[in-house]
Chains A and B, each alone.
Chain A
Amino acid sequence: MESKNILVVDDSRIMRNIVKNTFATLNIPCTFFEAPNGKEALSMLEQHPIDLVLLDWNMPELSGIDFLKRVRAMPQYRDLPIVMVTSEAARYNVIEALKHGATDYIVKPVNERVFYEKLSKIIQLQP
């Protein structure tokens, strides 16, 4: 499989590392890019050909949900897989994210099984 570029967006450096380590268990060749908020994630998207975004919700500068709304308004990112990885577990949060174009939704704490079930399919479906 071709190596994938994964953008991990979370204001917690510890959580970015946990997300990267958990994703690594999928054994999918990849390069990680990181951003601590939605604003920096937008610049990352412009600079690198990202294949998948793993996106936290609560962040300073630009939240995950606002990042999602902005990115989905740009035609070139309409089909970019963006998976929320967030502590926000309420159903109304999940519905709001999906309504605004999230590809899928993972509730923290993250675990390998959920990552595998949700992400391996998304990655493998990519051209």
Chain B
Amino acid sequence: MEKYIKPFVDASVGVFSSMVGLSVTVGRPYLCEINSPHEWDISGVIGLTGQARGAVVLSMKKDLALSITTALTEKAQQEINEDVVDAVGELINIIAGNAKKGLESDFKLVISLPTIVEGPKHRIAWPLEQTRIICIPFTTGDGNEFWLSVALESQQGA
């Protein structure tokens, strides 16, 4: 599973840098539980199907979501609204779509439309109970943190 993480890391670094203008540093990925406690306020979820099955989730605090949306809309954002939902959805969509390139020699994948989950301690329902979820911590240049969580299980030969 771990070898499939790099395309998602590379895509996240590239998207945050070129689209939002934020440099990010990548922490050490680790295994997390399906219902690991967290402090995030909003998550964007993309389902993955095709020759592998799973999901990729981008989670962050409200302040970072507002700051990203402000950068993308060039309009100050005060609260989570439809622009913020749109921005987080588009970010995870581009991360997942870009990561497919790094995975193309392993799997042919189809990505779903993004779904947004918000609220304190919101819960993500992962599609695969048996699959390990890898959490990748990121920190932006201005000290904000976010997570990318990836679960991917090959369907080839299944």
Contact = CB atoms under 8 A, between A and B. Distances in A.
Main secondary structure of the interface of A (DSSP, over half): loop
B92 to A, nearest CB: 9
B89 A12 contact: yes
Interface in A99-125: 107-109, 111
Interface string A1-43: 0000000000111110110000000000000000000000000
Contacts of B19: 108-109
B31 interface: no
A87 B96 contact: yes
Contacts of A111: 18
B109 interface: yes
B132 interface: no
- Listed residue (B72, B73, B93, B98) with the most chain A CB atoms within 10 angstroms of its CB: B93
Interface residues of B, number: 27
B97 A108 contact: yes
Nearest to B107: A90
Interface string B78-120: 0000010011011001111110110110001101110000000
Interface of A: 11-15, 17-18, 57-60, 86-93, 107-109, 111
Interface of B: 14-15, 18-19, 69, 72-73, 83, 86-87, 89-90, 93-98, 100-101, 103-104, 108-109, 111-113
**Closest 3 pairs (CB-CB, A-B):** A87-B97, A89-B101, A90-B100
10 contacts: A12-B90, A18-B72, A58-B111, A58-B113, A59-B113, A86-B97, A92-B108, A108-B98, A109-B15, A111-B18
